[in-house]
Structure 1
Amino acid sequence: MSELYDDFKSIVLNNTPLIDVRAPVEFEKGAFLNSCNLPIMNDEERHIVGICYKNEGNAKAIELGHKLVSGDVKEERVVAWMDFMDANPDALLYCFRGGQRSKISQGWLRESGREIKRLKGGYKAFRNYLLRELEESHNRFKPIILGGRTGSGKTLQLKKMPNAIDLEALANHRGSSFGQKITPQTSPINFENNLSYELIQKIEEGFKHIIFEDEGKHIGNVFMPQSFISAMAEAPLIILESTMEKRINITLAEYVIEAQKMYIMAGFEDAFRAWQQSIESAMKRIEKRLGYEKYAIVCALFKSGVNEQIKNGSYEKYKEWIEYLLREYYDPMYDYQIQKRSKQVVFRGGEKEVYEYILSSFNNAIKSSSHIGFAK
Structure 2
Amino acid sequence: MAIECDDYRQVFISDAALMDLRAPAEFAKGAFPTAISLPLMTDAERAKVGTCYKQQGQQAAINLGHKLVSGEIKAERLRRWCEFAKNHPQGYLYCWRGGLRSQITQSWMQEAGVSYPRIKGGYKALRQFLLNELELQVARQNIILLAGRTGSGKTLLLQELGNAVDLESLARHRGSSFGAGLMPQPTQISFENQLAISLLKLGEKATQTTIMEDECGHIGSLMLPLSLREKMAQAPVIILDSSLDERVECIFDEYIQQRFAASLVHYVDDAFAQFSVYLQGSLFRIRRRLGGEAYQQLNTLMQQALVQQANTGDANLHRAWITRLLRDYYDPMYDYQLSKRPRRILFRGNALQLKAWLAA
> Residue deviations 1:112-139, cap 9 Å, x none?
1111111111101110110011112123
Cα distance in 1 for partners of 2:320, 2:172 equals 27
AA of the residue aligned to 2:353 = E
Question: 268-277 or 104-113: which moved more?
Answer: 268-277
Deviation of residue 2 (structure 1)?
5.5
SS of the equivalent of 2:31 reads: coil
SS of the equivalent of 2:19 reads: strand
**1:1-376 map, 5 Å:** 3-360=3-360
> Residue deviations 1:296-336, cap 9 Å, x none?
01101101111221232212110001001111221111111
Cα distance in 1 for partners of 2:139, 2:263 equals 42
- The answer as to whether partners of 1:268 and 1:274 remain within 8 angstroms in 2 is no
- The answer as to whether partners of 2:177 and 2:286 remain within 8 angstroms in 1 is yes
> Residue deviations 1:14-69, cap 9 Å, x none?
11111001111111111112111111111111111122112222111111110010
Cα distance in 1 for partners of 2:345, 2:326 equals 22
Cα distance in 1 for partners of 2:93, 2:76 equals 17
Deviation of residue 110 (structure 1)?
1.0
Cα distance in 2 for partners of 1:329, 1:58 equals 61
Cα distance in 1 for partners of 2:333, 2:81 equals 51
Cα distance in 1 for partners of 2:247, 2:194 equals 29
Q: State the partner residue of 1:370.
A: none
Cα distance in 1 for partners of 2:280, 2:246 equals 24
Cα distance in 2 for partners of 1:285, 1:231 equals 30
Aligned identity (percent) is 43
Cα distance in 2 for partners of 1:50, 1:312 equals 60
How many residue pairs get aligned? The number is 360
Q: State the partner residue of 1:364.
A: none
SS of the equivalent of 1:342 reads: coil
Cα distance in 2 for partners of 1:357, 1:33 equals 33
> Residue deviations 1:137-162, cap 9 Å, x none?
12321011101011100000011101
Cα distance in 2 for partners of 1:81, 1:2 equals 16
Cα distance in 2 for partners of 1:7, 1:121 equals 11
**Which contiguous aligned blocks of 4+ residues in structure 1 show a shift greater than 6 angstroms?**
none
AA of the residue aligned to 2:279 = I
- The answer as to whether partners of 2:2 and 2:106 remain within 8 angstroms in 1 is no
Cα distance in 1 for partners of 2:29, 2:221 equals 14
Cα distance in 2 for partners of 1:269, 1:62 equals 49
AA of the residue aligned to 1:32 = F
Question: 80-89 or 53-62: which moved more?
Answer: 53-62
Cα distance in 1 for partners of 2:184, 2:64 equals 35
Cα distance in 2 for partners of 1:2, 1:99 equals 12
AA of the residue aligned to 1:36 = I
Deviation of residue 268 (structure 1)?
4.5
AA of the residue aligned to 1:213 = E
Deviation of residue 269 (structure 1)?
3.2
- The answer as to whether partners of 2:172 and 2:186 remain within 8 angstroms in 1 is yes
AA of the residue aligned to 2:282 = A
Cα distance in 2 for partners of 1:316, 1:90 equals 50
Q: State the partner residue of 1:368.
A: none
Cα distance in 2 for partners of 1:322, 1:69 equals 56
SS of the equivalent of 2:36 reads: strand
CA RMSD in angstroms comes to 1.1
